[in-house]
Amino acid sequence: MKKIRIHLFVMFLMPSLIWAQNFENLSEKIPMDDDVKVGVLKNGLTYYIRNNQKTEEKVDLRLVIKAGSILETEEQLGLAHFMEHMCFNGTERFPKNTLVDYLQSIGVKFGQHLNAYTSFDETVYFLPIPADDKEKVNKGFEILEDWAFNTVLTPEEIDKERGVVLEEYRIGLGANKRMMSEYLPQLMYNSRYAERLPIGKKEIIENFTYDKLTSFYEDWYRPNLMSVIVVGDIDVDEMEKKVKKHFSKYKNPKNEKPRQTYDVPGHEETFVSIVTDPEATATNVRVYFKESTPDTPTKSLGDLRDNLVESLFSTMLNNRLNEKANEANPPYTYAYSFKGRTYANNYKAFQSFAMTAEDKQLEALQVIMEENARARKFGFTLSELERAKSQMMSGAESRYKERDKKKSSQFVSAYQNHFLNESPISDAEFSYQAYQAFIPEISLEEVSQKAKDLIKRQNTVVILTGPEKEGLVPPTKQEVLALLDMDESELTPYQDSELAESLIRTPIQKGEIEQVETNEELGTTTLSLSNGAQVHILPTDFKNDEIMFRAVSYGGTNLLSNEDYKEVQWALGGLNEAGVAGMNTNDLNKFTAGKRAYLRLSMGQTTETLSGGTRPKDLEFFMEMLYAYFTDLNFDEDAFNTYKDKQNSFFANMSAMPQFYYQEQFYGFLLEDNPRFNGILPSAEDWDNTSY
């Protein structure tokens, strides 16, 4: 018998909740997390400081500025982004290249750790610093201070940086940027956002006068538009003193420019943008149902509850879209919907997205619009709602149990969103209790009503993007508009399927544990089973609510002949698509809703592997799933053909990407005499020669 080695990494549960919150008064404000210190200096600068010992001897610093390309004048297009470059180019304390040189000397790598970005409404600088030495932390604050107020903007340095920014401009003008510049004017119709892409304009970057960059820096890099965020293995009071020391002395301009916000006007007409590019590597469909008024921040318990209703709606709609992706001849590789921001921070839209085969855009759009219309017309079923509630509660429970394992970057991002958008920053206990209080009592009628509230024909924008190639004819605007005017009278309500009661269809034969061994050095316990398997168990404290699993046996594709290998090489990944215990993928997804248990089959050259994970609460269910994967894997030709279709859609244009083309040519040359080499990516001919 082939011996199988199984590894279990076991994480233990956290204690239960120790306090309660009253959620009956929906007008009550969402409380702020007491573990974060939030303050505002006299000059208006906001700071957030939190101790997080999860990241030992490390501190994450971030400078957030409420200023981006939306504030540029016509003579400054691209200078918000140019200013970001200048901050890394040299400051008063760190002239020329000494800034990057110093940071790399203490292990902070440019791009990987040290970074920044410029968007329409904000510019953000990331600076992770080792906290094992107070001098390094002091230097970190000096760098933030210099970025904010003491960047060197001499004519010589500005002119040197023009070439760097122009090269980034050239490289950045790939297919996605080119297509975006075409559809953005319709998506952000009649608004300033359509005219303020952060990359700017080439002729302005080449020719702007020095005073234009200096005035942008002086106008918008000011304390009352800034936030400093400090999270890590730190003393909070000590860090607060550093913030005050480095940032209190700076003043806002005497005649400061007002920091305006800009509207995104509504429109009755449905806009359609169909954009192709020779270098596009994916074919996508996007539908935006834009809101006609600015978004209001989530501040009260009622706002939070309404967000949960929206989340339940999106979860149920996405579950339906996932089912369509698993049907025969799927319309898309994957699709999802959500309510989120457009390019404007203060405007949201209900958005549907699908990645499709290059000739299936209209088919994918039709399915998206039909499922939106079905939800709007008929609502949802009680069984769908219960599954969605289980999914959301399962995620909330895991987040609560992992509350002391959060990375500093997660806290920093939350505080950044609070500063920019007034997003709530409540603690883990409150968030979990909010889910417990609100989710169970949200009604089917409320969630179904969300479809009517969010999916409307006003302010609708449809965007189709994909490759431009010979023989491929993109859809027309008339075809898209005709599809949107569908006859909804033929729609029928969603029909849920009946599920099996168990993953176990045949009696389990009892085995025995024949030997137990411990390894004190590794901390493992090894069980030798009567069927020849060995189970290695290692308790850890890395996570509180996770069990990681892997089963390995020796063998692999090296045992196959060259002929057999060519027939099954691309088929191996499709084994997972058939489901187990007589349940197809869709039924299995429904059956496991609210549980956290997953498994994947794979085969390498020398091994076969089952890898997956679960949590302590679902361990018994996971073991049943494991047994089913070993003994009751389905054989399903239709599921495999669906897998092939999705793989073809995904990989169809990957070879157009330079890195994949390079790899294909390189390994094709290197392995041209290897009878088992069959390319990096499967072709249509490869799939035709595949035997499931």
What DSSP state is assigned to residue 676? T
> Per DSSP, what are the bridge partners of residue 229?
48, 62
Q: How many CB atoms lie within 10 A of CB 348?
A: 21
Query: b or e along 47-77 (b: 16 or more beta carbons within 10 Å of the residue's beta carbon)?
Result: bbbbbbebbeebbbbbbbbbbbbbbbeeebb
Please determine, looking at this structure, whether the domain spanning 37-247 carries the CATH number 2.30.30.830: no
What distances in angstroms separate CA 441 from CA 339, 376, 417, 431, 435, one per listed residue? 22, 21, 29, 16, 10
CATH class of 271-490: alpha beta
Separation of alpha carbons 201 and 331, rounded Å:
38
pLDDT in tens, 247-266: 999 999 999 999 999 999 99
Q: Are 506 and 332 in contact (CB under 8 A)?
A: no
Query: b or e along 561-575 (b: 16 or more beta carbons within 10 Å of the residue's beta carbon)?
Result: eeeebbebbbbebbb
Long-range interactions of 481-485: CB distance < 8 A, separation 24+: 481/270, 481/272, 483/362, 483/365, 483/366, 483/369, 484/270, 484/369, 484/457, 484/460
Residue type, 126: F
Long-range interactions of 382-385: CB distance < 8 A, separation 24+: 382/444, 383/496, 384/316, 384/319, 384/320, 384/494, 384/496, 385/312, 385/316, 385/444, 385/447
- Give me 287's structure tokens: 């539908």
pLDDT of residue 7: 58
Q: Rounded to two decimals, what is the model's pTM?
A: 0.90
Separation of alpha carbons 626 and 551, rounded Å:
10
What burial class does residue 427 get, using C-beta atoms within 10 Å of its C-beta: 0-12 exposed, 13-18 middle, 19+ buried? Answer: middle
Query: b or e along 642-673 (b: 16 or more beta carbons within 10 Å of the residue's beta carbon)?
Result: bbbbbbbbebbbebbeeebeeeeeeeeeeeee
What DSSP state is assigned to residue 400? H
Task: State the angle between helix axes of 301-325 and 444-454 in degrees (0 to 180), rounded to the nearest 10.
Answer: 80
**3-class SS at 141?**
helix
Q: Are 418 and 356 in contact (CB under 8 A)?
A: no
Q: Are 288 and 351 in contact (CB under 8 A)?
A: yes
Token look-up 């429970």 returns 397
Which stretch of DSSP H or E encloses residue 449? helix 444-454
Residue numbers of the chain with a pLDDT score lower than 50: 1, 9-19
**3-class SS at 190?**
coil
Nearest to 221 by CA among 123, 100, 343, 89: 123
Domains 4-12+523-688 and 37-247 in one fold: yes
The rounded radius of gyration (Å) of the Cα atoms in the chain is: 28
Cite the beta strand spans of 187-310 per DSSP E: 226-232, 271-277, 283-290
Token look-up 């299936």 returns 360
pLDDT in tens, 203-252: 999 999 999 999 999 999 999 999 999 999 999 999 999 999 999 999 99
The three-state DSSP-derived secondary structure of 335-390 is EEEEEEECCCCCCEEEEEEEEECCCCHHHHHHHHHHHHHHHHHHCCCHHHHHHHHH
**Concatenated DSSP letters for 294-330?**
PPPP--BHHHHHHHHHHHHHHHHHHHHHHHHHTSSS-
**Concatenated DSSP letters for 410-439?**
HHHHHHHHHHHH------HHHHHHHHHHHG
Close Cβ partners of 142 (under 8 Å, ≥ 6 residues apart)? 93, 94, 246
Which CATH number does the domain 4-12+523-688 belong to among 3.30.830.10, 3.30.1240.10, 1.20.1440.230, 1.50.40.10?
Answer: 3.30.830.10
pLDDT of residue 500: 86
Which stretch of DSSP H or E encloses residue 170? helix 155-172
Separation of alpha carbons 572 and 330, rounded Å:
20
Separation of alpha carbons 44 and 227, rounded Å:
9
Q: Where are the domains of the chain?
A: 4-12+523-688, 37-247, 271-490
**Concatenated DSSP letters for 581-606?**
TT--HHHHHHHTTT--EEEEEEE-SS
> Per DSSP, what are the bridge partners of residue 277?
467
What DSSP state is assigned to residue 226? E
What distances in angstroms separate CA 246 from CA 140, 223, 691, one per listed residue? 11, 12, 67
Separation of alpha carbons 433 and 414, rounded Å:
19
